[in-house]
Amino acid sequence: GSVIGILGGGQLGRMLSVAAARLGYKTHIYEPMANPPAADVAHAVTTAPYEDLTALEAFAKSVAIVTYEFENIPTTALDAIEAVCPIHPNRRALSVSQDRLIEKSFLRDLGLATAPYAAVDDATDLAEALDEIGAPAILKTRRLGYDGKGQARLKSVADADTALADMQGASAILEGFVAFSHEVSVIAARNLSGEVAAFDPGENVHEGGILRTTTVPARLTEAQRTDAVLLSAKILNALNYVGVMGVELFVTPKGLIVNEIAPRVHNSGHWTQNGCAVDQFEQHIRAIAGWPLGDGSRHSDVVMENLIGNDIDRIPDIAQERNAAIHLYGKAEARPGRKMGHVNRIAG
């Protein structure tokens, strides 16, 4: 069969590779760091930085299509690949999700609700933004943030100086603090023929900025569930998107507010591995490889728990539990905050 190229060799690339193999494809991983989690299960691995355009070109020539497991791919790397073969999801999806300011204005232009926001490049901007938006608020770097990194919370205007210092000179946006009751996400897919499907929304709990658990079904009314799915489809269609996307939402009494989108398979979609006939990883491969989308309807209630850092030491106990499906990423060293694996506990 043909080869699918994946930029990024972390756990998402690993699980994409496994799904691709089940559909008869080989994968070629491109990853700057040596011995990434995906290397164990991939057909080929290129270890080179994203600045190495010669390596990127050779990689692109060895595959039929390219996809990615993380969104911070430099534009020059995209150029080098796109000259050789198609990349899904497309460039617009990447550029929108790479920059929180562009992302927010894209969502707002679609008529979707976001937190109030303003661009902040210096102390004057921040003072004006705080005037307009008020406190509490969150200052976030526009680019490169994940797992709550590159963010500073402002309880009051008095926190302005320390928050700005935390940005270390990077362009940022100030977001008004959304008083949400809980957080949910939609994992949605769109294929090459424009077919769209969404998994049941999951309810997400974060700890220290990192996803801790996802529970399905989420606490949503039927109207909220429909709204969540329809607004996600609107985002995918607007981007002419191909692949799986994660759409993070805040649930408030006034309705759903879009927090951010991720143009890739998403940690909050890991429950689908044991809750659906076709999981998010297979759905992504189907979408980008020109297949019809699979049946992602939920057959079980699931609680997904991330195993972070030393949580991995609990594996002997978790292994004794009934209905606990264990997914480990093969990472040697359990550093604090590092995602080592996850467990899907199936109800009943």
Q: What angle, rounded to 10 degrees, do the helices at 75-82 and 53-61 form? A: 40
Q: For the segment 105-164, give every residue that binds Mg ion (CB under 5 A).
A: none
302 is in an annotated binding site: no
Q: Which of 115, 139, 258, 288 binds ligand ATP (CB under 6 A)?
A: 115
The C-alpha atoms of residue 138 and residue 310 are separated, in whole angstroms, by 29
- Give alpha helix (H) positions in the chain: 11-22, 53-61, 75-82, 91-98, 100-109, 123-133, 160-166, 222-238, 272-275, 280-288, 315-318
* Contact between 138 and ligand ATP per CB under 6 A: yes
Contact by Cβ (8 Å): 198, 232: yes
175 is in an annotated binding site: yes
Taking alpha carbons only, the member of 6, 7, 92 closest to residue 49 is 7
Q: For the segment 150-189, give every residue that binds ligand ATP (CB under 6 A).
A: 175, 177-178, 183
- Residues 258-287, mask of contacts with ligand ATP (x by CB under 6 A): -xx---------------------------
Longest dimension (CA), the chain: 60
Give the Å distances, CA to CA, from 245 to 38, 146, 248. 20, 16, 10
Cβ burial of 179 (10 Å; 0-12, 13-18, 19+) is exposed
Look at strands 339-346 and 324-328 and give their pairing: antiparallel
Nearer to ligand ATP, 25 or 175 (CB): 175
26 is in an annotated binding site: no
The stretch near ligand ATP (CB under 6 A) out of 11-19, 119-127, 145-153, 302-310 is 145-153
Find which of Mg ion, ligand ATP, none residue 309 binds, CB within 5 to 8 Å per kind.
Answer: none
Q: Which of 200, 203, 248, 279 binds ligand ATP (CB under 6 A)?
A: 248
CB of 198 to Mg ion, least distance (A): 18
10 is in an annotated binding site: no
CB of 10 to ligand ATP, least distance (A): 13
CB of 341 to ligand ATP, least distance (A): 17
260 is in an annotated binding site: yes
Find which of ligand ATP, Mg ion, none residue 147 binds, CB within 5 to 8 Å per kind.
Answer: ligand ATP
Give the number of residues written for the chain: 348
183 is in an annotated binding site: yes
Q: For the segment 59-98, give every residue that binds ligand ATP (CB under 6 A).
A: none
Q: Which of 52, 147, 166, 227 binds ligand ATP (CB under 6 A)?
A: 147
DSSP at 294: -
The C-alpha atoms of residue 220 and residue 182 are separated, in whole angstroms, by 10
329 is in an annotated binding site: no
CB of 260 to Mg ion, least distance (A): 5
The C-alpha atoms of residue 176 and residue 21 are separated, in whole angstroms, by 44
134 is in an annotated binding site: no
- What are the tokens at 179? 């008083």
Nearer to Mg ion, 248 or 311 (CB): 248
Nearer to ligand ATP, 203 or 279 (CB): 203
Q: Which of 32, 145, 217, 330 binds ligand ATP (CB under 6 A)?
A: 145
150 is in an annotated binding site: yes
Helix (H) / strand (E) containing 346? strand 339-346
178 is in an annotated binding site: yes
DSSP string of 186-224, one letter each residue: EEEEE-TT--EEEPPPEEEEEETTEEEEEEES-S--HHH
Binding residues for Mg ion, rule: CB under 5 A, are: 248, 260
In the annotated binding site for ATP, the residues are 100, 140, 145-151, 175-178, 183, 206, 259-260
Binding residues for ligand ATP, rule: CB under 6 A, are: 115, 138, 145-149, 175, 177-178, 183, 206, 209, 248, 259-260
